[in-house]
Amino acid sequence: MGEQVDRKQAYVEMLRFCLGQLGVEDAEAGQARWVVERGETVEMLREVCGDFGDNDWPDDLHLRDVIEKHLARHLMFARNLKGG
């Protein structure tokens, strides 16, 4: 999984660089920026879920589902164990 994540991160960085060099300000560029942002968000969620939740989810899962089912559930359980 680590090599795949590293490869995706490299592609995201290349896309960001290319968009910046092109200075494209249209709908397609906006969509590309969303792709970059999603890639970075998935990368960060992988780190946080690895520490506080689980990583048993595909990269294309809706982000709300990732947060709700693979992170928040674990955090709420831990909070309840502490009596909070």
Domain ranges of the chain: 2-81
Q: Write the pLDDT tens digit of every residue in 52-74.
A: 999 999 999 999 999 999 999 99
Residue 54 tokens, joined: 């689980």
Q: Is the pLDDT of residue 1 over 80?
A: no
Q: Write the pLDDT tens digit of every residue in 13-45.
A: 888 788 778 776 666 777 888 888 999 999 999
pTM for the model: 0.68
- What CA–CA distance (Å, rounded) separates 40 from 75? 22
pLDDT given for residue 15 in this prediction = 81
Helix, strand, or coil (residue 52): helix
pLDDT given for residue 41 in this prediction = 96
pLDDT given for residue 11 in this prediction = 86
